[in-house]
């Protein structure tokens, strides 16, 4: 699917495929080969977590060199993180939880935010601030499948990207839920494969993830 250069809406992230890879990069020099390997497997949306010093320069390189890829920042915890992500060229940001200050900062920066929630109260807070596409985190640990089935009734127009502990085996069950649009997961970019420069393996994992269908 061709990348729309206009400002994304968070829900648009789900239109590029069923899985958003959650990436942890230890070395900046792995950024481009990794992004190219994922893209070769059909994955266009990448979330690089701000957990390592390599993350921001990696986002900057991907944004500069690979315009066909939509790169965002994960593990965004506050307004300062969002500002740094924006400066590096991130097209969207993902947070593990929700708070209004971060939401306001992202709006001010024109940066689409996929905020994390784990409780009904957090869904209500995000919804009150206009967010209708949310990351459920940590999905597996909090019984995400049952939770999302239960939330369908009170939150009829809220959609989710469950993330946290999801695998290629469990993803199809999540994707089958009517309020799930895509899932997030780190299994497409395993640390040992990145360390070994095994880009062929990562392309294969990406291709398999891209082919996942609802159970």
| Coil vs helix vs strand at 121 | helix
Contacting range for ligand ELE; rule: CB under 6 A; set: 38-46, 142-150, 157-165, 190-198: 157-165
| Coil vs helix vs strand at 166 | coil
Nearer to ligand ELE, 16 or 98 (CB): 98
Output the CA–CA distances (angstroms, integers) from residue 119 to 125, 131, 137, 139, 148, in the order listed.
10, 15, 9, 11, 11
Query: Could you tell me which residues come within 8 angstroms of residue 179 by beta carbon, excluding any fewer than 6 positions away?
Result: 148, 151, 152, 155, 158, 159, 160
Alpha-carbon torsion (11, 17, 23, 27), positive or negative: negative
Output the CA–CA distances (angstroms, integers) from residue 180 to 147, 154, 172, in the order listed.
12, 15, 10
- By CB under 6 A, tell whether 96 contacts ligand ELE: yes
Active-site positions read: 47, 135
Contacting range for ligand ELE; rule: CB under 6 A; set: 25-33, 57-65, 147-155, 162-170: 162-170
Closest alpha carbon to 20 in 59, 56, 71, 57 = 71
Q: Give the nearest distance from C-beta 183 to ligand ELE in angstroms.
A: 9
Q: Give the nearest distance from C-beta 150 to ligand ELE in angstroms.
A: 21
Query: Could you tell me which residues come within 8 angstroms of residue 207 by beta carbon, excluding any fewer than 6 positions away?
Result: 41, 42
- By CB under 6 A, tell whether 116 contacts ligand ELE: yes
- By CB under 6 A, tell whether 185 contacts ligand ELE: yes
- By CB under 6 A, tell whether 74 contacts ligand ELE: yes
Of the candidate residues 44, 91, 184, 189, the single one contacting ligand ELE (CB under 6 A): 184
Subset of residues 21 to 50 that bind ligand ELE, contact rule: CB under 6 A: 22, 49
- By CB under 6 A, tell whether 144 contacts ligand ELE: no
Q: Which helix (H) or strand (E) holds 100?
A: helix 100-109
- By CB under 6 A, tell whether 165 contacts ligand ELE: yes
- By CB under 6 A, tell whether 94 contacts ligand ELE: yes
- By CB under 6 A, tell whether 10 contacts ligand ELE: no
- By CB under 6 A, tell whether 75 contacts ligand ELE: yes
Give the angle 185-186-191 at the CA atoms, nearest 5°: 175
Which residues form the interface with ligand ELE (CB under 6 A)? Answer: 22, 49, 74-75, 94, 96, 116, 137, 163-166, 184-186
């Amino acid at each position: 699917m061709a990348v729309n250069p206009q400002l994304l809406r968070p829900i648009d992230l789900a239109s590029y495929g069923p899985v958003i890879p959650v990436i942890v990069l230890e070395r900046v020099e792995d950024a481009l080969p990794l992004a190219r390997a994922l893209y070769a497997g059909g994955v266009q949306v990448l979330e690089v977590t701000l957990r390592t010093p390599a993350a921001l320069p990696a986002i900057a390189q991907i944004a500069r060199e690979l315009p066909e890829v939509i790169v965002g920042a994960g593990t965004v915890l506050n307004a300062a993180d969002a500002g740094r992500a924006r400066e590096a060229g991130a097209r969207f940001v993902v947070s593990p939880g929700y708070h209004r200050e971060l939401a306001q900062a992202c709006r001010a920066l024109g940066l689409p935010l996929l905020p994390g929630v784990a409780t009904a109260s957090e869904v209500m807070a995000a919804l009150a601030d206009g967010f209708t596409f949310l990351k459920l985190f940590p999905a597996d640990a909090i019984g995400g499948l049952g939770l999302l089935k239960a939330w369908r009734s009170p939150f009829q127009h809220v959609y989710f990207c469950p993330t946290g502990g999801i695998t290629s085996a469990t993803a199809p069950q999540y994707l089958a839920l009517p309020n799930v649009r895509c899932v997030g997961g780190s299994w497409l970019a395993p640390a040992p494969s990145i360390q070994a420069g095994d880009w062929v393996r990562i392309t294969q994992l990406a291709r398999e993830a891209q082919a996942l269908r609802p159970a």
